[in-house]
Amino acid sequence: MKKIKLCCFTVNYTHACIIANNFINKELENVKVIYINEKNEEKRLKNIISKFYKKMDDKLFYTQWLNEEITNNYTKEKFVFVVSGKESFVNKVNKYIDISNAKGYVINCYYIFDIQESVKEIIQRHDYYINTTGIVKKEFLNL
């Protein structure tokens, strides 16, 4: 299984967590979630999970940078990497994720106020686009 890439555009970390977690909670089972964020938002993430996504508590990791031990120690797991931050940060993390052997999904949450590329170009590089209400197939977008 190759990594399936999804993208979304957010205004802040809380918004990114809500979009990603709504998708994960509704669409995926038997996954380990790894949150990779440009700034340390662990406390905020834990508050969001405990309030709105209680059943996700047992399947998440938090890191500011991808920890190789996590992906090496859980080789039989299917991962969801939630990458959140400025476009340059998201792209840098994706280069590492692309070469790792981890299976699963990558949800790239781009801070909308800091993208250099056009939204259309970013969406075209991903398998799916998601927003607060769910998944949007690329062919239904008016780009």
At 16-58, the pLDDT tens digits run 988 998 898 888 888 888 888 877 666 667 666 666 656 665 5
Overall number of domains in the chain: 1
Could you list the residue range(s) of the whole structural domain that residue 73 is in?
Answer: 4-140
3-state secondary structure of 125: coil
pLDDT greater than 80 at residue 73: no
**pLDDT range class, residue 64, cuts 50, 70, 90:** very low
Residue 21 is part of a domain; what is its CATH number? 3.40.50
pLDDT greater than 50 at residue 125: yes
Structure-model confidence comparison of residues 34 and 70, the more confident one: 34
**Sign of the alpha-carbon dihedral angle for 101, 19, 47, 28:** negative
CA distances from 19 to 2, 8, 9, 118 (A): 22, 8, 9, 20
Query: Could you tell me what percent of the chain has a pLDDT over 70?
Result: 69
Cross-strand bridge partners of residue 115: none
Give the whole-angstrom CA distance, residue 43 versus residue 76: 28
